[in-house]
Structure 1
């Protein structure tokens, strides 16, 4: 795969007839000697895949964003039918505003309750709703229980006799107060109530995955219909977040257009050649079209996490395309025929470009190690995009330029930039000459030591800061959206008006059939609930154990001294008839312990998970050891002996975790485990590819160490900006390594070729600066500006990705231009003879 051994500038071939078309590598001869066929194949591929690209859709899936293979999620999915909709759910808060007619602004108002009923009915028939577990004041599963002189009594909160009269409203108020729903379904100030809408992942009528974009539009249409001076609507939940993201991602096209204009404008400003600028942009866009077409052909869709990948593919294409265009332009400036110039550039930069793209592909592909389908699909989407760049920007672009050529004036200007008067190397002018001299200083011992010392200091400081990097969300609400977004304002309203948070973690308890209300089981549940309530991040808990204690008070004339679990299985079992459906299943073989958290920050989730894990590993196990082995007892009906647990043995099994917070906890665990493993893999692959290309451990160290510094500083920046490592930001860390190595490969490949020709390190580096370094600087700054515009996006995670990518683009560029020559002074220059034996991967 190595280029021919050309030690100096290639000979000028002004006429195509004078060029030996049998020269060059086999791939070069195959492609350039059959240029019309290559053009035809690319044209047909563009038409076919362009047609397919029109079928590409944007969608989202709840299950794709969670680690379904993690034990916590596997437990939740296996008990999905028993969990009462505690997974993917939407909460619609209907607020009663104070008006001239209803000055109090409470829910105990005929107009409010009528609107609430309409909203509840509309949501009930909405596609994808898990109707048996939907809950509002108007649903029959919202009940009240009270102690009367005749014992326990109860009914639905909205009685069948409700007619909107003052008497009926007073009855509703009393029912709500007796229902235990204040703080959960009804706000503590009685100014709003919640419609809890659990969702199925698939539409049961069509069998298709639930369309979160359409669901979000339906919810916004409902808000528009009922939001008024008297009624306020607030909507929270994963599905609403996804809907808002999908709606907001339409602005991605705007940012894509802005980035295209920036890249094209800066590239034209550098070359002053319209035709070559248009070709570079066109080939990068063709890569995006091919990528979209292949995804549609394979049956994939873009989601809110992968929709930004096409821009990254475009950016990578612009970077590689600019290098090819620059090489061709300089050869044409010397008088070489455009076809020969294209072949020369292909020879010199194909291996470096191919290696760089393979490193990019590896940076994307290692994301597939993370067992979250959304990230695995992002890895696939990106890998396909990088694969097509090999054809569009390494092959198609040089062939197109071999036909169209470049502007003669631009070519001469490029030549003057490279070679000044009297044949001496010069820069673009006085300013550029000073810059090259400044950068060349880092090939000398003093400046090299200073650069490495500064880099070492930054690495140590950055590492110290990066140790405070957290996994998971660091802010309340939906961190994917801006803090002042409508969704996060709605979430703030919910958290400030309801005692029961929407950040719910569910501990699942399985038991033998019809034994969920055993005293031993409920005592263990109650013990765990008490321990969790002592944690600072837990607001409250709810379970069958808590309800049983309340029932004991009711059974005994309201005496609070009976607020305790009594060791009587029969008495405890009687609570089942009045218990809410979400606390246990119909077979009484499953219990849910609801843990209401103050937020879903990483530290809150980890403290709860650690406490539950400790309880499962120690307390429950110790109770089992005290109980002894199972015992066989004769069946009183004469059947086979039945096996029972030993006396006092807990047949229950405690499991983590369900609920939104439980899923977030499992996701954090998977991301934390994958983060370091992912970096090891991506760096390992980059090192291997660099070794295959350069065949020198010294060259590998020179290329990779600047990337390590950038990775450390990127993590420190995430700490400074308050960005946690999560599904949305984890890919950036890997992408920065894969994409960043491009710069080092282009500069180092030319340096090694010139060192191989016997030049000094300073001369080799100056040549690399003039040939590829200028374009490295150009693309680094240009791409940083382009992705930097994402900081203006209303989607927070897109803004975070833009800031991090811009930072990595700039620092990788600085590493390639400053740290690389400094490292080369100590690693490559003393081994000049050894370097001379290296195979040439590029010769300028």
Structure 2
């Protein structure tokens, strides 16, 4: 390539021969004041590192997981004081492995567990339920009228008579299958949680609460007689945080993998360490700023530091590669750093701005945890402008690269120019600029896109498995959930429709009839186990009033009868309506919370609400764990396409600004679109639904993938606009930035593939998806960019208005090989 005619930056060996007034204003500001700049960067790193260590918290929140702007959630939040137990609650099952619940020792153990949980911070004690709760009552009809009392006898002392009385009370209270297992080997404690601890007013420490549950488990399981099974949001968050502490090992593994791969590529210890240190500095800055602004890390935003490190490595490696090439040609290291800054700063800033906008688009999703993720990721990307684009070249201007490493890089270039070594790979990639190979590549991509799109149409919104899909199927949490599902008739997946009326309105005959009809409509769905509402209690109490006559197990028109039934229900089932009887829930217990189940139940409830809501009564969706998840699925479904559309609009805009050509923009964006389609197809094949944990992944993949296209295509267009052929321009681009695209793609994939063994399933899924996207974006850039360029960017079209000259100013890439070889 010695015969390439182009604008070149001269090889200057002596610093005194270089004009420090050259370059743009930013370059002069940074490089002419290197020592103050480095001291300032060091000071900022120390301060932000201290803030990250002292202020950063892992703080998950139930409310941050739900779309607070959605009508369902607003209805729930407006009425949650009247809906205790239908939001954030915990279920603790105590199993007797050597007998049943009627063992006095078991009941004493249950009492101790009940008391410890009752006194825990953050527990809504008034609505806690267990065999030892006075709110759990029995009722029966006798010749003298209604009789009732707490299920646990008031004078319980553990005698045989007390046990027999308890057995009778359990049967009369009809709690077998809800609070007592059907085989009588275990019983359940339902523990509603407050949004804030009652004593301190602070949010619940879910990790601390989960640790307390584990201490309870270890203490009471020590003898091997009893087992505790715990499910609920608090336990799930605790398990996720425990898993995240293990995930830190994967971060260390990613750093070591990056060090190894980049060293094998450069064989230069100092530049390899600098690439990794600058990327880690970005992570420290990001975490420090997040802590300073008062944000916290949660299980869903923990991937952001990984991504910031990955993007930082991508940009820092490009700078290192450019400087290494110039030093290999004999240029002084400080001058080489300035040359690389001139060539790649604008392309790097454009890529980072595209990343930042891609992340910022996530803020439009009305789920606080995703908004926080978007903010922390955008902060991290902004930080990379200072660490990877400014700090990296300035630091390299001090330390340079090893002479042997630079000469080795130059020998690799010479071998490539002679069609040896990497040259064989470059020659293979260069074939995609020819019509035959380009046509084949585009056709294969089109077929993959069509097949992937067809498969992606089957992509589901929400969970596809029972239990907690954030964890593996064999996790302790999911084993506990399977036990509870198998031994209890009522699941923890509750979907509640709220009926809002004027005070005392829920006792009106028409209201109760409509509530009964809604319950019947929900029961027709095979995924609904049963329903519960005030109408159940009214029917039972009315029949009991008339000597248990089953013919009168109905809703009477007589208001006095209804008032008496409600009075009795307020004692035995106060959760079925609020104090002034202006709100009553119709609760459906679902077999699972899979996406299809929730869609079916929501459709039934929506149709009924639209047909029967009036000024006197409103049917409001939705409360309960399944109701909240249904609202979340609706928001995710709406955001999924709009988010991708906005991400691609942002990426397209930045590409248009950079390339000044709609054809070049298509060349850059089409491979990214193919990757997104294939990623959705992969999610279908892996049985992964789109939900809060996975929604950001595709957007993040697009943001990172555009870096490859910007670095590769900007150099290719520069050469084409200098008059070179497409084949020669692409070969030069691959030799300069393209091989680093391959290096970074492999490095990033190797760094995240280890996530597949994470104890957290959704992170394992993300690791697989991100590995796929990193590798496929790399292949798309290296194969589809030349193939698409053949059709969209022939020589006549490539001479369109040039992008900002500073982004490729004075590229002297791989030129003057004869002179270069003399320095080896």
Q: TM-score, structure 2 length as denominator?
A: 0.96
Q: CA deviation at 1:306?
A: 0.7
Aligned partner of residue 509 in structure 1, secondary structure: strand
User: Is 2:489 the partner of 1:524?
Assistant: no
Are residues 1:396 and 2:391 paired? yes
**Aligned ranges for residues 426-575 of structure 1 at < 5 Å?**
426=418, 429-430=420-421, 432-575=422-565
Structure 2 partner of 1:736: 701
Query: Alignment partner of 2:147: what SS?
Result: strand
**1:559 shift after superposition:** 2.0
Does residue 268 of structure 2 align to residue 273 of structure 1? Answer: yes
SS in structure 1 opposite 2:800? Answer: helix
Contact between 2:359 and 2:377, CA under 8 Å: does it hold in 1? yes
How far residue 219 of structure 1 moved from its aligned partner, in angstroms, is 0.7
Q: Quote the offset at 1:547 in angstroms.
A: 1.3
1:229 aligns with 2:224: yes
Describe how 1:769-780 pairs up with structure 2 within 5 A. 769-780=734-745
What secondary structure does 1:250 align onto? helix
CA contact (8 A) 2:539 2:552 kept: yes
Counterpart among 584, 596, 602 of residue 595 in structure 2: 602
**Counterpart residue number, 1:615:** 608
Given that 2:720 and 2:795 are in contact with CA atoms closer than 8 Å, whether structure 1 keeps it comes out as no
Q: Which residue of 1 aligns with 2:628?
A: 663
Change in Cα spacing, 1:118 to 1:343, as seen in structure 2 (3 Å) is same
Distance in 1 between residues matched to 2:337 and 2:195, nearest whole Å: 53
The correspondence for 1:591, drawn from 581, 584, 592, is 584
Q: How many residues align?
A: 800
State whether structure 2 residue 618 is matched by structure 1 residue 677: no
Q: Deviations over 1:759-813 (max 9, x none)?
A: 1100011111110111110110111111000000010011011000000000000
C-alpha contact 1:758 1:836 (8 A) present in aligned 2:
no
Offset at residue 238 of structure 1 (A): 0.7
Structure 2 equivalent of residue 798 of structure 1: 763
Q: CA deviation at 1:576?
A: 2.2
Offset of residue 831 of structure 1: 2.7
1:56-67 pair list within 5 angstroms? 56-67=56-67
C-alpha distance in 2 between matches for 1:426 and 1:118: 80
Structure 2: state its 5+ residue gaps: 814-824
Q: C-alpha offsets along residues 155-183 of structure 1, whole Å, 9 cap, x if unaligned?
A: 10012121211111111011001112111
Residue in structure 1 matched with residue 288 of structure 2 by the alignment: 293
State the secondary structure of the residue aligned to 1:163.
Answer: coil
CA distance in 1: counterparts of 2:306 and 2:521, whole angstroms:
49
Q: Is 2:338 the counterpart of 1:373?
A: no
Residues of 1 paired with 2:720 and 2:629: CA distance? Answer: 53
Match of 2:730 in 1: 765
SS in 2 for 1:14: coil
- Deviation, 1:833, is 5.7
* Aligned 8 A contact 1:235 1:490 in 2: yes
Counterpart pick for 2:308 among 294, 313, 324: 313
Identify unmatched segments of 5+ residues in structure 1. Answer: 1-5, 99-104, 625-649
| 2:799 counterpart SS class | helix
How many angstroms does 1:563 deviate by?
1.8
Indicate which of 741, 748, 754 corresponds to 2:719: 754
Q: Counterparts of 1:581 and 1:290 in 2: how far apart (Å)?
A: 52
What is the CA-CA distance between 1:151 and the residue it aligns to?
A: 2.0
1:836 shift after superposition? 6.5
- Residue 692 to residue 797, structure 1, CA distance change in 2 (3 Å): same
Cα 1:162–1:357 change in 2 (3 A) is same
Q: Does 1:705 align with 2:705?
A: no
Cα distance in 1, alignment partners of residues 49 and 6 from structure 2: 42
| Deviation for aligned residue 1:85 | 2.4
Residues 1:680 and 1:356: Cα distance change in structure 2 (over 3 Å): same
1:60-85 Cα offsets, whole Å, 9 max, x none, are 10000101111111111111110022
Contact preservation (8 Å) 1:7, 1:753: no
Q: Secondary structure of the residue that 2:227 maps to in structure 1?
A: strand
